[in-house]
Structure 1
Amino acid sequence: MFFEILKNLRKKFKRLYITMFKNYIIFVFLMLLVLSGTIGFMIFSIGKMVSSEDYIKDTQKFFMASKIVKSDYKKIDASKIVASKGWVEILNSNKKVIYVIGTKKDKVTSYTENELLNFMDLSYNNLKSGTSYFYSVTAFNSNGEDLYCIVKVPPGIVTLNVDIAPSPDKYIKKAAIYILVGIFIIIVFLTVSVFLYAYLTTKKVVMPLKKILQGIKRMTEEDYSTRINFNAENKFGEIRDAFNFMAEKIEASIFERNRMENLKQQLLSDISHDLKTPLTSIMGYSKALNDGVVENDKKIKQYLNIIYNKSKRTVSLIENLHEFTKLDNSKFLISKEECDFCEFVREIVSEYYNEFEEKNFELEINLPEDEIIYEFDKVEMERAISNIISNILKYNEVGTKAKIELTYDNSKIQLIIADDGVGIDESLKENIFEPFVRGDKSRYTKGGTGLGLSIANKIVQKHGGTLTLEKCKKYKTVFRLKL
């Protein structure tokens, strides 16, 4: 059994290793997911920064008409242009100036088609140093009307090298900070995760394994009281529970084996004692008769009567011992048949009725009128019930109150045999169904073999039932037979 459990443990460990490997793969996958997610977040953040309004305002030409124009041209933000001594002109569809933002420094009030086309065709690199103003033109629509927006800035304010090719240094720094922060977060997360994974692995794998191995080592040293204890809800929890269950079973088995060994020794001792006493008497009285020591006919008859009674007790002891060993054999099978259990009990009680009257017992009998059909061995069950009733009659004083009650409920049969007589010592109640255990010291001299209740208990167990000794306020001794 022990080696089989170890084999099962090895199988569970193998499954555990596979599980740990799968967990490791999942862990690596999650780490890659976090890494790619962080990098994606950084790219997204930088892209968002590049497409932000502030970035556009800083990197695009503040004097480009296409960047500042609005359908409601009166709300155009031209503060930087005005601060640069430039101005904004709004033309109608006839190319005439209808609105000006800032201080107009030329006298042009209208433009020709060619002039506008020329302005639009101008590129930054084609500007000439002798140009009076830098022009930027775009067409737009306002309330269904086609208009034009012209931005004019003095060439002394707008320089080609600086303003036309904006420097994004501060945004490069921002992007670098985003990247460094992302890398730092990844490194910290990876470091913490690795340490956390190592800690959890140690806590959930190494420590349970260490305790399990320590427990196995103590078990191999025959310390069967060993139990392992750690918190786990995975396979280790199952292994812990299986180990503790195994240790408990082995400890109980060892205890039971030792108990049975002691019982066996006690059994042999009791058998020798119980057989020796009557046989010694038989030998003594028979020798006296054989030697002619007793000549009185009355005395001879007395001796013969003693020899007969001692022989009868010896035969009874041997019969009970044979019955006990027969029932103790696992191969012994009882012979069951369906009968009315109620009528069966009634017949047994009727056989003892005269004895109850002779001892003036106050007997209470409660047996149902209806049939209780049950499959049982009539011979063995009669022996079991008779042994209990015989004990009540044999060991209690005259005038004892007794009760025999049979009940049937939810497919369960209960037979109660109780009395308020001398009772049974508290120290013996736990072992009362063991062989050669007697309820009180006086029973050694009253003809009891100490096997009656043990035989009764084994018969009931053979029927799949239980026989227990209980106590209540009204009765000192209550035997409850459940089937």
Structure 2
Amino acid sequence: MKSNKNSGSLFRLLARSYLLFTLTLLIIVGGIFTLWNHYLNSLYAPSDWMAMLTDQALSEGKYDSLRHYLSNSGDSFGVYDSSGHLVYASTEDFDSFYTQQELSCIPRYGSNILIDSYDLTQHKSNASYLIIRHTFQNDTGEDFVDLMALDQNYQVLFGGLQDGKTSYTPREYQLLTGTRYPNSFLQCASFDNSQGQSMTLLLREALWNEADYLRHYNQSRVIWLLFLPLFLADAGLFIWWLSRKIGRPLRKLNDAVISQSEGRLVRVGECGGTLEIRRIGESFDRFSDRLAESERQRRILDEGRQKLIADISHDLKTPITVIAGYIDAICDGKVPPEEQTRYLRAIQSKAEALTELVNAFHEYSKVEHPEFILHPERTDLCEFLREYLAVKYEEIDLAGFSLEISIPEQAIFCSLDPLQFRRVLDNLLSNALRHNRLGTVLFFDVDVEKNSALVRVADNGSGIPPERIPYIFEPFVVGSDARSGTGSGLGLAITRRIMEKHGGSISLTPHPAPGRSTEFVLCLPLEPQLPPSE
């Protein structure tokens, strides 16, 4: 199963999700703070008078388009013609007419003039108003101060502003001291319209007190209420994302477990999700495959058990039927006295075959039992085979078979149970003698390959039918399906089990060497060489 490399472990997913969720919250907070800060800046920022004065729309009389230069703090502007009449006002509280003397009392925009005024009517003196004008020089940094005192009728008592005036009207005084429009700072500027007429622009900047600042500041905090829906949306998005990354594959696994519990063998496949979930899915698929394989093997075992019972019944039934028939014939007097000896010999032969068959069943059940153990000894395989073949030589010769042996002179040590390994050789030799014709040559070869000793037991006889070769080591498999020949069909099954207990194996060579028709290969692990004795 291919793993999704884009998904890591559960810990990494949770850590990454937490960090990403925290980052998005910080982005939300930063965004709201930026919005709040932008709102406060737009609220407290001064109007861009310089940009307004340089805008072409001012001279063209497109005064409404100039409103965007005003801040949100209540700044406004008014336009007066050369005769002092109001032409345009951004708010309705501008005076409709000003004389040239009144306009000259308004500080010019960018003149660096600051006027302070003091009401002296509470003091017992001739002067009722005191005006101090500061003129700042940008190039030198000097501050020039002009002082002027007015009586209650706004007549100049002493000093002056170097404008030659000896008296002021009440409105001139208001315009001069900036009290004409409460809580405002007033400036003026001149410009020419598109017809070449001289126009005056009044710039009125609202002055806020501390209460106004605090009130607008408190109102601006309403923007932070946006955090709650954005937080809920962000949390919902991450919950959905985690549900997709974790919940969906877990639901898929749960559905697979339920299907498995209902007897349906299913596979999860690529379930997605984190590394741990994908590993669970892979483990579940391996479990499902093993369960399917176990179920397949169980069916095979059931079929094998049924076949085993049928084969045992067949193998036992044949000699028992013959024995029972002969005995019935003798007991019923149907056998002449001179024939009874032949019948008894036949009964004896069938009883011996039955005994051999029962012994084979016993050996097979013994080697298949979990408690079947070997008693291995460190043995020179070459010397063992020489002794074995020396004992069997007369039997082989009397059966009309010849023997060719290729056994090295040097010792090859293996861990063998002499009794059980001799049974392996007996089974192979008896099969060769039983199923081949006279004159067949038997071959016994010993060789070493890597860390194993190989014993090849072969013949040049009739061979094994090709259709029987894949099943030759299964129980009750003989040369034909008719089972009419001698033998129980358990010898090779017992041999394979004994070889497995030795840590080795037995196999049938699919393509024997030229001159050989059947060749079994016994593979045994080598024992380490002992150090030479001193």
Name the TM tier (shorter chain): 0.5 to 0.7
Which residue of 468, 479, 483 maps to 2:507? 468
* Partner-residue secondary structure (3-state), 1:415: strand
Indicate whether 1:447 and 2:440 are aligned. Answer: no
1:316 is matched with 356
Q: 1:410/1:44 Cα in 2 relative to 1: closer, same or farther (>3 Å)?
A: farther
8 Å contact kept, 2:246–2:273? no
Amino acid of the residue matched to residue 268 of structure 2?
Answer: I
Indicate whether 1:283 and 2:324 are aligned. Answer: yes
Tell me the C-alpha RMSD between the 2 structures: 5.1
Larger displacement relative to structure 2 (212-221 or 21-30): 21-30
* Partner-residue secondary structure (3-state), 2:503: coil
Q: Using the alignment, how far apart are the partners of 1:376 and 1:462 within structure 2?
A: 10
8 Å contact kept, 1:208–1:236? yes
Q: Report the Cα offset of residue 207 of structure 1.
A: 2.8
Q: 1:227/1:124 Cα in 2 relative to 1: closer, same or farther (>3 Å)?
A: same
2:291 is matched with 250
Q: 1:419/1:30 Cα in 2 relative to 1: closer, same or farther (>3 Å)?
A: farther
Q: Using the alignment, how far apart are the partners of 1:205 and 1:244 within structure 2?
A: 18
1:482 is matched with 523
1:342 is matched with 382
Q: Report the Cα offset of residue 305 of structure 1.
A: 3.7
* Partner-residue secondary structure (3-state), 2:446: strand
Q: 1:47/1:348 Cα in 2 relative to 1: closer, same or farther (>3 Å)?
A: farther
Amino acid of the residue matched to residue 250 of structure 2?
Answer: L
- Give 1 or 2: higher helix fraction: 1
Question: Unpaired runs of 5+ in structure 1?
Answer: 1-14, 50-54, 62-121, 140-147, 168-182
8 Å contact kept, 2:378–2:415? yes
Question: Unpaired runs of 5+ in structure 2?
Answer: 1-8, 52-111, 118-130, 145-161, 164-176, 179-184, 188-202, 207-224, 525-534
Q: 1:349/1:46 Cα in 2 relative to 1: closer, same or farther (>3 Å)?
A: farther
8 Å contact kept, 2:477–2:490? yes
* Partner-residue secondary structure (3-state), 2:487: coil
Q: Report the Cα offset of residue 208 of structure 1.
A: 1.9
Amino acid of the residue matched to residue 25 of structure 2?
Answer: L
Amino acid of the residue matched to residue 294 of structure 1?
Answer: P
Indicate whether 1:457 and 2:450 are aligned. Answer: no
TM-superposition CA deviations, 1:28-86 (whole Å, max 9, x none): 3232233355568789999999xxxxx99x7999xxxxxxxxxxxxxxxxxxxxxxxxx
Q: 1:324/1:42 Cα in 2 relative to 1: closer, same or farther (>3 Å)?
A: same
Q: Using the alignment, how far apart are the partners of 1:214 and 1:236 within structure 2?
A: 14
1:217 is matched with 258
Amino acid of the residue matched to residue 487 of structure 2?
Answer: G
Amino acid of the residue matched to residue 335 of structure 2?
Answer: V
TM-superposition CA deviations, 1:267-316 (whole Å, max 9, x none): 222222212222332333455556472344xx555444433322221111
Within 5 A, what are the aligned runs for 1:140-155?
none
Q: Highest relative contact order (Cα 8 Å, sep 6+), 1 or 2?
A: 2
Q: 1:431/1:20 Cα in 2 relative to 1: closer, same or farther (>3 Å)?
A: same
1:124 is matched with 114
Q: Report the Cα offset of residue 226 of structure 1.
A: 2.0
1:34 is matched with 27
Q: Using the alignment, how far apart are the partners of 2:204 and 2:517 within structure 1?
A: 112
Within 5 A, what are the aligned runs for 1:100-115?
none
8 Å contact kept, 1:281–1:307? yes
Aligned length, in residue pairs: 383
Q: Using the alignment, how far apart are the partners of 1:356 and 1:47 within structure 2?
A: 114
CA radius of gyration, larger in: 2
Within 5 A, what are the aligned runs for 1:378-417?
378-400=418-440, 402-417=442-457
Which residue of 457, 465, 471 maps to 1:431? 471
Q: TM-score, normalised by structure 1?
A: 0.62
Q: 1:339/1:32 Cα in 2 relative to 1: closer, same or farther (>3 Å)?
A: same
Q: Report the Cα offset of residue 383 of structure 1.
A: 0.8
Give the percent of matched residue pairs that are identical in Structure 1 and Structure 2: 27
TM-superposition CA deviations, 1:113-150 (whole Å, max 9, x none): xxxxxxxxx973469xxx9x9965468xxxxxxxx589
8 Å contact kept, 2:245–2:274? no
